[in-house]
Amino acid sequence: MNTWLKAGTIVKGVSFFDGVIDGKEIRSAVIYIEEQMDEKSGREKGFRTVAYKSTPDVVKRIIHLEFPITAEVAFVMKVTKNNNEVAVEDVKPTGRAMPQPQQKAA
């Protein structure tokens, strides 16, 4: 597996489920990370939030924090016969990120 670190990452939020549904054990987690859009084409600008799969263990270590946070995030490329995906392997908080101002409904 190919793993890499990305410092200064803004983590916007997290969610997880670690339990049993209909007799089947389910362990899933998502970490929501702010990613800069590719501005080269001239058709995109700014940032978007991307949902990366992770594990409940990673999320449980940071869910008590006030989001958004800045962190050093370890990503891993998971490759299978039919698919490949980027997942979050670890998150090391480094500070608090400033939240985006909320727009008021018109």
Q: Is residue 106 part of a domain?
A: no
Residues contacting residue 14 through CB under 8 Å, at least 6 positions apart: 29, 30, 31, 32, 54, 59, 62, 63, 67
Ordered per-residue pLDDT tens for the chain, 106 residues: 688 899 999 999 999 999 999 999 999 999 999 999 999 999 999 999 999 999 999 999 999 999 999 999 999 998 888 999 999 999 999 999 987 666 566 5
Q: Is residue 56 part of a domain?
A: yes
Q: Is residue 18 part of a domain?
A: yes
Q: Is residue 104 part of a domain?
A: no
Q: How many distinct structural domains can be found in the chain?
A: 1
Output the domain CATH number for residue 15.
2.40.50
Q: Which residues on adjacent β-strands are paired with residue 21? A: 24
Q: Is residue 67 part of a domain?
A: yes
Q: Is residue 66 part of a domain?
A: yes
Largest CA distance in the chain: 50
Which residue range(s) make up the domain with 16?
A: 2-38+45-96
Q: Is residue 25 part of a domain?
A: yes
pTM of the model as a whole:
0.86
